[in-house]
Each structure stands twice: as structure tokens, then as C-alpha cells.
Amino acid sequence: MTLVLHDEGGTGQPILLLHGLMGSSRTWRRQVPWIREFGHVYTFDAAGHGRPAPSELTTEAFVDDLASAVASIEEPMIVIGHSMGALHAWCFAASHPEKVCALVLEDMAPDFRGRTAADWAQMISAWPQPFASEDAMKEFFGPVAGQYFLDSFDRRDDGWYLHGEVSTFRDISEEWGTRHFWDQWKAIDVPTLLIEGEFTITPEGQMREMAERPGTRYVRIADAGHLVHDDQPQRYREVVTEFLQTVS
């Protein structure tokens, strides 16, 4: 049986880390040591990322899968999510309010309607797999995204391979272009930190609009792309530490 929830150690308040699209639990390994100072840390591998995807690729199906994985954690959690993981975090909080006491949401917005992932998926399909070495990965993707994918891809004898189906990743993203998630956002009332990179993928102004909800703080981090926590790790650590000190 594939292990999907990983106990990263620590004591006290449970803290759950959710990765982004095409990521894995391992993409948090540089943050786990200092986050562990604030509680008992868990990481999670989303369905479709190194394990079978739900039969229906809806956000609700992914949230249901997450809920099953964390059912044994009885105390309300601080949930920290990046991109897709951020969306799943607040949708999980909306559907299971008793399970979540605070949120950290990185570079994700509620409404991408009108966008398509078709060209993006075609580009992924053309990636030169397998990547023969770590250097080849970092040369192709750049140092930040290259490390993200090194942490995520499947390593085999002849190199690194994508750890899921392109069609799955495409369809996850395509759903975001057909609906919005404002209702789920407005349904929650826990303390929340919103983090947006200067070079964000989110529609302009949406995360600031999210921050109009009471109990929400918004921080825009300069010189950061979509992978804020790896692009500007020290600044990310500072703002998350400040938040965790207030809610732990």
C-alpha cells in the first residue's frame, strides 16, 4: 500500500503541508525542519501524483481523498498549501471546518475561469524524458523549478520521469478554468495568511480581494515567482514564522 501521509515528526499542534500541481510531499523538505519547531508536521502526496488519481478529477474528489488520509488526526490542524495545495486546503477547511484551525495559502486564487491548460500540457508532453542527471534537470528547468521537479519526479535506473499522467495534470488545471471557488473561500472563518509572489500566476488582484475577509493577512513577496517558498525561502520563513507564532 502506498504511503500518502508522511509523519515528519515534531510535537504539539498538527501542521499539514500540501504541495502544488506536479509536486510531491518531498518538495517541502527544505521547510520541514523549521516548521517542525511549531508543531507536529505531516506532509501529503496528492492523488494522481505518484499514485492513482480519483475517477473524477474534481477538486471535491481530491479533498475527499485528503480527508480520508488525515482522518486519524483528531486535533484541528494548521494547513499550509502551495498552489493546488492551497486550493485544496481552503476547500478542505470549508467542507471539514472541525479539522482546520488556521491556513497558510501560497500563490493561489479562487477564479481562473477562461484559462486553458491545453498548450501547457502539450509543452509537458514534449519534455525530453528521462532526464539523465540532476544537472540536466536544473539546466532544463532552471535551479528553482529544477529542484522542485527533482524532488517530485520518479527516479529510475536511466533517469528521472514525470510521476503522473500529463492528461491528469492537464485535467486538474482545466477544471480551474471552468468554475470558481469563491463560495468555499467565503465559507471559512479561520485565521489565514495569504502569500503571493511578485511574479505570480494568479489573476491580478484576487488574492488582495481574498484578504478583505476578516482574520486574513496578505503578503506580497518581492522577487519571487510561483514557487515562493523556494524562490525567496528566507522571506517566506519570516512571514510564516510570524503567523505561526500568533496561531500555534
Residue 3 has pLDDT above 80, yes or no: no
Over 60: is that where the pLDDT of 1 sits? no
Which are the contacts of 59, defined by CB distance < 8 A and separation ≥ 6?
Answer: 87, 88, 91, 175, 181
Between the alpha carbon of residue 161 and those of residues 125, 127, 143, 222, the distances in Å are 12, 10, 18, 32
In this prediction, residue 117 carries a pLDDT of 83
Map out the domains of the chain as residue ranges.
3-112+178-243
**CA dihedral in degrees (148, 49, 16, 103; nearest 10)?**
80
Tens of pLDDT, residue by residue over 31-52, are 999 999 999 999 999 999 999 9
pLDDT tens digit string along 208-230?
999 999 999 999 999 999 999 99
**Which pLDDT tens digit goes with each residue over 49-85?**
999 999 999 999 999 999 999 999 999 999 999 999 9
Mean confidence (pLDDT) of the chain: 96
CATH placement of domain 3-112+178-243: 3.40.50.1820
The model carries a pTM of 0.96
The model's pLDDT over 118-165, given as tens digits with 9 standing for 90+, comes to 888 999 999 999 999 999 999 999 999 999 999 999 999 999 999 999
pLDDT of res. 69: 96
Q: Looking at residues 101-114, what average pLDDT do you find? A: 97
- C-beta of residue 225 within 8 angstroms of C-beta of residue 199: yes
| Cα–Cα dist 85/21, whole Å | 7
End-to-end CA distance of the chain: 33
pLDDT surpasses 70 at 2: no
Task: Give CA–CA dist 248/239, Å, rounded.
Answer: 14
Q: Given this model, what pLDDT does residue 248 score? A: 77
Q: In terms of Cα–Cα distance, which of 17, 9, 1 is closest to 151?
A: 17
